[in-house]
Amino acid sequence: MNKYINKEIEGEDKSGQTSKSVDPGATQLPDFRFSMGKQPLRELPGGTAREVTAREFPVSQNIAAVLMTLKPGGLRELHWHANAAEWAYVIEGNVRVTIVDTQGRLEIADFGRGDIWYFPRGHVHSIQGLGPGSTVAKFLLVFDNGYFSEFATFSVSDWLAQTPKGIVAKNLNLSPEELSELPTEEVYIAQGPTPPILPVASLSGLGTVLAPPLTHKYQLRSQKPFVKSAHGEVRLASAGEFPISTTMTGALMSLHRGGLRELHWHPNADEWQYILSGKIRLTVFASHGLATAVELEPGDIGFAPMGYGHALENIGDGPAELLLVFNSGEYQEISISTVLATQPTYLLKTNLYLSEPVIEKLPKRQEFIAAAHGGRK
């Protein structure tokens, strides 16, 4: 039988991280849970940021994240990421994004609650709070590299500040005197006025007419569910639904009270989870008799490595909602109900020690989201 190693039940230190990866010969698993609230808060006049990478959450080698807020007019300055693509979900409020691709094409778009974006690696972009009024925007940035660092990325202000002024002046067709007000260090998050309503024009006057053929925006929350049952639903944004998102897939999942995202695994990607509301029990199976169960609350991150069997159960008193992010643009999964429903009875009798009458009660099709306490659809 599998031994469940649960640090909460055994009374061990919840903050301890035991390993950077799961050793097949290990007798104890690393922690598959991390609280974003544990991370230092970086506060600036225009907003805040918290970051979690593989340095803080060692099991998540391939996915990192930043939880950011922007006040109205607060601007996450023009920047790019050299080692990761950026996927984001707007939790609250509204923001405006500008992005320029490798062909010099500009897209300017406004995002609200439930919208997502995807920026390929190396594409320069900015994010600015829109309000309305004093409403602060809150959004989650997720990156397809666990060792990404938001605080060591490439910012335009930092680049110009570190470059000899003569070179900057020559490059921008300005005199050194005209550059006297340039920042002397990285701005990161600046505070400015709330942007005007769209459409707006770029410096050249061309504005958004240079938009690339693949938009960087997708309205995830407003889409038809990919899966819908009596116990919950899932909205999906893979490269199939959101073509520019070639290296990452995102999903918004809601589970009703007692709902269970059934036992399953992903052959091609890790699964990174962020709890928006409710209380979730994550179980992860690591083979060789090792498994763990951890409880996740709003602001917590859960993780299931590629190929590891896992399930997500709503154990709270009300509905739960969570984001799922995968480090592949192609969504693949195999669920336990699919596996069992496709097998002949004689094999299941031998494999699971179950009688034929019991086997006949098993699901005859994929459940995907089921009742957690033995209920049937």
Residues carrying an active site annotation? 76, 79, 81, 86, 125, 150
Write the single-letter amino acid at 276: L
Given the structure tokens 């666990």, which residue do they identify? 146
Task: Count CB-CB contacts under 10 A for residue 206.
Answer: 11
Task: Count CB-CB contacts under 10 A for residue 28.
Answer: 13
Closest CA to 17 of 3, 29, 35: 29
Residue 317: enclosing H or E segment and its boundaries?
Answer: none
Ramachandran area for residue 206 (φ above 0: left; ψ -120 to 50: alpha; else beta): alpha
β-pair partners for 196? none
Closest CA to 27 of 271, 287, 284, 282: 287
Residue 266 burial by Cβ neighbours in a 10 Å radius (0-12, 13-18, 19+): buried
> What CA–CA distance (Å, rounded) separates 241 from 207?
26
Cα three-residue angle 48-96-65, rounded to 5 degrees: 45
Given the structure tokens 């083979």, which residue do they identify? 287
Residue 339: enclosing H or E segment and its boundaries?
Answer: helix 336-341
β-pair partners for 107? 99
Q: Are 106 and 206 in contact (CB under 8 A)?
A: yes
> What CA–CA distance (Å, rounded) separates 185 from 178?
17
- 3-state SS string over 147-208? CCCHHHCEEHHHHHHHCCHHHHHHHHCCCHHHHCCCCCCCCCEEECCCCCCCCCCCCCCCHH
